[in-house]
Amino acid sequence: MVVGDASLDIDLLVIGAGPGGYVAAIRAAQLGQNVLVVDKEYVGGVCLNVGCIPSKALISASHQYESMNHASEFGITASDVKVEWSKVQEFKNGVVKKLTGGVGSLLKANKIQYFAGEVMFINETEARVFNDQEAPRYRFKNCIIATGSRPIELKAFPYGGRIVSSTGALSLPEIPKSLVVIGGGYIGIELGQMYARFGTKVTVIEGSDSILPGFDADMSSLVAKKLKGAQAEIVTGAQAKSAEQTDKDVTVTYTVGGEDKQVTADYLLVTVGRRPNTDGELGLDLIDLKMTDRGMIEVDDQCRTSIPHIYAIGDIIAGPALAHKAMYEARVAAEAIAGQPSKIDYKCIPLVVFSDPECSSVGYSEKEAKEKGHNVKVGKFPFNINGRALSLGVKEGFVKIIGDADTGLVLGAQIAGIEASNMIAELGLAIEMGATLEDIALTIHAHPTLGEIVLDAVEMALGHPIHAISK
């Protein structure tokens, strides 16, 4: 290893090349900063390589397979439909390669230096970046820490063999005949349902009273119903205790209702949350950053840490571990460094689960709006009487709009159904710009589209629905 003595000067050091890091780097470069990005694994971070993108590629493939096997209601019969798992994996890897390559090209086009390696702080203005070949030392004016998170590993369920994390679940050597999922949150449900569509017998073990805790009960019940229709078993109020694996399967012991039970499957997927990457050899203890007991870095409304020229974004600060949250914070931090008055405002962070049906949410739920003291007005409209939904063969789903009865302002929305992930953006914009229910009602929605369900839900809230009988 070659170690340089003199420090190289840069304006901005970005640690991590995931959705937060690379967006921060590009925005800072646009604002005139000389930027160095360092990542020890890969451009694109967890999201593009072993998270959001590859999982959605596999989910899409599973929907294709399911559609081909259930096309008879459209008058189409398909026979001998087979899955070539190696080619499914090739499709997934191709999507990842294209997107990560694209990010690399964007960094290059914006004249951003990239270093494949690790970082260790020397002091508050200097850091060593290193790999097996070199270890240059940099002096920086500002720094953005965007090191992301990793799956939590439980002592009773160490990863390895037939016990896998979400990362391992994306690259299993075959479609398992059976799978146990510990954790019924969005990651466990997305991956569990994906395999269920491919024919895997799935068992979900969740500690709370329902899957997708934190989401509207009507939404999680729709997903649970679809899972059970795929012959999956959902065990709620359960506590996983231990696992014993052989070279062929794994047996999980769990407690429910005070009774110990067991289930054996080909693989065990553990999805119980993520841990911030603030430990290890980064050297945060050497610069005395203010952190929480959970290893999160404390920041202000510009993502500035207790050291004014060091910023932190993404999974290592408070809030949900979402790629789009990290991207948003990245822009704020880069603009704050450039002297702009950008500040974080989390009232419009959309939550999306690529379950079946898809679920999305933005702003307040009905319960939250009432707790905040609003006089609430609610409109709810089903998918199954919308022309576009019926033409797609969709039978389940709804749009729910929460408004303020006194001001008419849109406070929140929840959508369960096909394309819910795309439909939620209109409602996020409405909340962000301070739109009213009447503003949406006056917006012409194209026909026939799923977007019309948003209009119908708003008209329900206003008390003059066109496509439903007012109660």
Q: Is residue 437 a part of any domain in this protein?
A: yes
Tally the domains of the chain: 3
Q: Which of 315, 346, 377 is the last residue of a domain?
A: 346
Mark whether 375 and 391 lie in a shared domain. Answer: yes
- What pLDDT, on the 0 to 100 scale, is given for residue 3? 46
What are the tens digits of pLDDT across the range 25-61?
999 999 999 999 999 999 999 999 999 999 999 999 9
**Mean pLDDT along residues 217-239:** 96
Distance of CA 367 to the CA centre of its chain: 23
Q: Is residue 189 a part of any domain in this protein?
A: yes
Binding-site sequence positions: 56, 147-149, 183-190, 206, 273, 315
Residue 101 backbone dihedrals phi, psi, to 5 degrees: -65, -35
Q: Is residue 167 a part of any domain in this protein?
A: yes
Mark whether 175 and 38 lie in a shared domain. Answer: no
Mark whether 174 and 207 lie in a shared domain. Answer: yes
Write out the two tokens for 57. Answer: 């590629």
- Describe the strand order of the beta sheet including 351-353 as a list of residue ranges: 351-353, 359-363, 410-416, 398-404, 376-382
Mark whether 254 and 290 lie in a shared domain. Answer: no
**Mean pLDDT along residues 177-199:** 98
Per-residue confidence at 5, pLDDT binned at 50, 70, 90? low
Mark whether 42 and 140 lie in a shared domain. Answer: yes
**Mean pLDDT along residues 323-349:** 97
Mark whether 14 and 143 lie in a shared domain. Answer: yes
Per-residue confidence at 7, pLDDT binned at 50, 70, 90? confident
Q: Which of 272, 303, 334 is the last residue of a domain?
A: 272
pLDDT at 1 exceeding the cut of 50: no
Specify the CATH number for the domain of residue 37.
Answer: 3.50.50.60
Mark whether 111 and 76 lie in a shared domain. Answer: yes
What are the tens digits of pLDDT across the range 149-158?
999 999 999 9
Domain that holds residue 30: 2-151+275-346
**Mean pLDDT along residues 406-420:** 98
CA–CA distance, 300 with 306 (Å, rounded to integer): 8
Q: Is residue 212 a part of any domain in this protein?
A: yes
**Mean pLDDT along residues 228-241:** 96
Q: Is residue 399 a part of any domain in this protein?
A: yes
Mark whether 123 and 40 lie in a shared domain. Answer: yes
For residue 447, CA distances in Å to 74, 152, 384, 387, 451 come to 21, 46, 16, 8, 8
Q: In sequence order, what are the residues at sequence separation of 6 or more whose Cβ sits closer than 8 angstroms to the Cβ of residue 400?
A: 216, 218, 366, 378, 379, 380, 413, 414, 415, 457
Q: Is residue 352 a part of any domain in this protein?
A: no
Distance of CA 284 to the CA centre of its chain: 26
Helices (H) and strands (E) in the chain, counts: 13, 22
Mark whether 38 and 62 lie in a shared domain. Answer: yes
Binding-site sequence positions for FAD: 56, 147-149, 315
Q: Which of 346, 378, 407 is the last residue of a domain?
A: 346
Catalytic member of 374, 447, 464, 467: 447
> Is 309 tagged catalytic?
no
**Mean pLDDT along residues 5-10:** 84
Q: Where are the beta strands (DSSP E) in 306-418?
A: 310-312, 351-353, 359-363, 376-382, 398-404, 410-416
What are the tens digits of pLDDT across the range 341-375?
999 999 899 999 999 999 999 999 999 999 999 99
Q: Is residue 468 a part of any domain in this protein?
A: no
**Mean pLDDT along residues 245-260:** 97
What are the tens digits of pLDDT across the range 376-391?
999 999 999 999 999 9
CA–CA distance, 159 with 170 (Å, rounded to integer): 14
**Three-state DSSP class for 97?**
helix
Q: CB of 318 within 8 A of CB of 159? A: no
Q: Is residue 201 a part of any domain in this protein?
A: yes
Specify the CATH number for the domain of residue 455.
Answer: 3.30.390.30
pLDDT at 471 exceeding the cut of 70: no
What is the pTM assigned to this prediction? 0.95
Which of 459, 468, 457 minimizes the C-alpha distance to 413?
457
Q: CB of 411 within 8 A of CB of 364? A: yes
- What pLDDT, on the 0 to 100 scale, is given for residue 2? 41
- What pLDDT, on the 0 to 100 scale, is given for residue 385? 95
